[in-house]
Structure 1
Amino acid sequence: MKTETTSHNPISTGGWTFVEMLVAVSMSAIFMGAAALVLASVTHNTKRHTTLVDVNIGSVTNKNFYNSSSEDVRTYSAPNYGRLVQAQEMREKFQEDLTLATACFALPRSNLNSIRPEFLDFPTGVTGANPDHPQIDSPEAFRQFLALVEPTSAGIFDEAIRNIPSTAKPNVTVFMLGAITANDFIRVNSVYEIDFIESGGKPGTYASVRRYKNGTLTLYYDVYYPDGKGDDFFPAMVAFESQGRLLKAETTALDRFKAAPGAPFYLLFFPDPSINSKKQPAWTPSDPASSPREAYEHMAGKTSFLVTAPMFPSL
């Protein structure tokens, strides 16, 4: 009779050797050391990039911007990455308002703006107008119309605008217009403002971007740019016209902006809290004077918040 035998593989029950333990401890020390360095770096840069500063913008400006009577505002010095969240929120709200607007008009200025109405009168019977209502088909036409229905605006938006504002007008107000009401008023959906204020007491520029509805501040972000050797943040707006206007030949400085294949549009440059443009090297011009980019090529690298805004979003 054949006897069947079964063999069993031995199972090792031994622990780690001294060498294995030494290698494991060494690797753990390396990983923990690297993590500590990363944490220290993050902590250091967080403190460095979240410097709070008190900036003197004057009580009149503070009242106009934020309805505050103080002379100072407390904000963060650029670069600051936390402010990016607010800047992104502002851009998204601006784009949302664009989808609801029938027209968008940007006007440059140097003075403080106080024109933030809920409605604008849209009068009939204006001499020489055909049809009866004024024809508002450009930023300059809107500026002249605004002076008609809001006379005090003439002292605020006091310079004609075609494509690029003069360097004396670094600030911008954008009017988002709605539909015409039954009783001949234009609804103003919202008003956006971009301002640059030279701070009192310390060398630098205070930048503020705000949204108003019915005259009330609803959203804003701000940042302080310490002085450096870079170019100023200018222009904040560029207006492009329809290619159809090339039928009327004008100067090269004007014809180069007749580049819109359809409806006219703007390029709007919102201040970027994560970049201090004044600390960047001065820009070396490269585009010819016949190119529209020659007027704003130096804005490259100054902001990641560039918005393309159609002048007539509903078309």
Structure 2
Amino acid sequence: MKFFVQRLQPRFGFSSIELLMVLSLSAIVLGGMVVSYGTLVRSQPQIAGVVKVPLDTTRLTRFYGEADLKRQDTASAPSFGSLALAEELREQFYHDVMSATAVFCLPRQGDNTWKPSYIKYNPDTDEELDTSQKFRAHVIRVAGVASSLYQNYRNPGASSEKDLPNLSVFILSYSKMSGYLKVLAIYDIDVIRFVEKSQPLGFHASVKRYTDPAGPPAGVDYNLIFSGGYSVFYPPANPAAQVEADMATDGFTPLFVTFERYTRLAVRESTAIDRFKLAAERPFYFIWWPDPSARHLGQQKNTASPTTPLGAYNHMAGRTSFMFTVPVFPAL
């Protein structure tokens, strides 16, 4: 009887069979979660690798003021480290524009080799500088800048020059020196295509800011120096690209467009020019920077009518989060 009573006492815990079933179900659930998580992770942008871009010492010196070969190591897009630097530079750009008296965009084919702190200007004898084209003509005349450095470019389709891959944005400010314009900062945007067999296939894109050295030096005969920026390397949009032809449609243009005052419609020109004469009060730019969070610089469709301004830049929509609306004369 004593044995029988002991058998009727309630049991606590789980049997080995129950534990085995629970462990099996847990393994199935956890396995499914791991597979799902792996799928999600693989579908997200990967942490950027580093590409050794063959920027020669001459170009490095023009870009950064020194031939530091370590700067050849460039994060591959998408790069969120470069994105953080770009966000910081964006804030600085806004600050510079708010302090500016004038902003002029000069497109380039090659590197920018001219970074002055002051530019000669006599308001009594020199022409009024109300467009980027007049600013270009002025610096060629008074500063001896080669006419081939900055191109005579008005807008996409409005100039004989095709859309150019590089741009220098001159931000002028109030000057303490009589007879001179003060260059507060220069922003250089360079998008360099690499296609040789010995080179990584893709684009090295960078935005760099140049401003006064610490001090700054006395007088007007000194150059601005590199003070910050970001760079990123974009692989071809076609992941199977092997030669230049495989990335022929990749690129990042236009880097800017200019909206002129509508009163200029009093002088009728071509459709490509007149479509940008829309500014009610003051002329302004749309400016685009390469976005380090983008995967590539592949071509986007442009469905806008070529007779409208959108026909020149509609394909830039969605390609970058770094788009700026900048007045030509912020102080006015």
TM-score range, shorter chain: 0.7 to 0.9
* Counterpart in the other structure of 1:114: 113
The structural deviation recorded for 1:193 is 0.3
Mapped partners of 1:70, 1:103: distance in 2: 33
Instruction: Indicate yes or no: 2:256 matched with 1:240.
Output: no
Q: Which runs of 5+ in 1 are unaligned?
A: 1-14, 127-132
* Counterpart in the other structure of 1:87: 86
Q: Which runs of 5+ in 2 are unaligned?
A: 1-11, 213-223, 239-246
Instruction: Indicate yes or no: 2:271 matched with 1:255.
Output: no
* Counterpart in the other structure of 1:312: 329
Once the two structures are superposed, the pairs formed by residues 13-92 of structure 1 within 5 Å of their partners are 48-69=46-67, 73-92=72-91
Mapped partners of 1:266, 1:42: distance in 2: 40
* Counterpart in the other structure of 1:223: 232
> Conserved in 1, the CA contact under 8 Å of 2:235 and 2:296?
no
* Counterpart in the other structure of 2:304: 287
* Counterpart in the other structure of 1:163: 155
Instruction: Indicate yes or no: 2:170 matched with 1:178.
Output: no
The structural deviation recorded for 1:74 is 0.5
* Counterpart in the other structure of 2:215: none
Mapped partners of 1:265, 1:16: distance in 2: 77
Mapped partners of 1:254, 1:211: distance in 2: 30
Query: Structure 1 residues 22, 56: CA separation in 2 closer, same or farther (over 3 Å shift)?
Result: same
Aligned-residue CA RMSD (Å): 3.0
Query: Structure 1 residues 22, 70: CA separation in 2 closer, same or farther (over 3 Å shift)?
Result: same
1:48 alignment partner, SS class: coil
Once the two structures are superposed, the pairs formed by residues 180-199 of structure 1 within 5 Å of their partners are 180-199=175-194
The one-letter code sitting in structure 1 at the alignment partner of 2:120 is D
* Counterpart in the other structure of 1:141: 134
Which of these residues, 298, 302, 313, is aligned with residue 315 of structure 2? 298
Mapped partners of 1:289, 1:168: distance in 2: 15
> Conserved in 2, the CA contact under 8 Å of 1:276 and 1:302?
no
Q: Deviations over 1:27-47 (max 9, x none)?
A: 987997788668767876889
> Conserved in 1, the CA contact under 8 Å of 2:45 and 2:78?
no
Mapped partners of 1:38, 1:185: distance in 2: 64
Q: Given the two structures, how large is their TM-score scaled by the length of structure 2?
A: 0.77
Mapped partners of 1:141, 1:31: distance in 2: 70
* Counterpart in the other structure of 1:130: none
Q: Given the two structures, how large is their TM-score scaled by the length of structure 1?
A: 0.81
The one-letter code sitting in structure 2 at the alignment partner of 1:155 is S
Q: How many residues align?
A: 293
The one-letter code sitting in structure 1 at the alignment partner of 2:48 is T
Mapped partners of 2:122, 2:22: distance in 1: 83
Mapped partners of 2:60, 2:307: distance in 1: 41
Q: Deviations over 1:7-40 (max 9, x none)?
A: xxxxxxxx9999xx99999998799778866876
* Counterpart in the other structure of 2:216: none
Mapped partners of 1:113, 1:265: distance in 2: 23
Q: Deviations over 1:127-160 (max 9, x none)?
A: xxxxxx4200001011011112221242311x31
Greater Cα offset, 115-124 or 187-196: 115-124
Question: How much identity, in percent, do the aligned residues show?
Answer: 33
The one-letter code sitting in structure 1 at the alignment partner of 2:49 is T
Mapped partners of 1:274, 1:310: distance in 2: 27
The one-letter code sitting in structure 1 at the alignment partner of 2:193 is E
* Counterpart in the other structure of 1:98: 97
Instruction: Indicate yes or no: 2:295 matched with 1:276.
Output: yes
* Counterpart in the other structure of 1:3: none
Query: Structure 1 residues 91, 41: CA separation in 2 closer, same or farther (over 3 Å shift)?
Result: farther
The one-letter code sitting in structure 2 at the alignment partner of 1:150 is A
> Conserved in 1, the CA contact under 8 Å of 2:261 and 2:282?
yes
2:111 alignment partner, SS class: coil
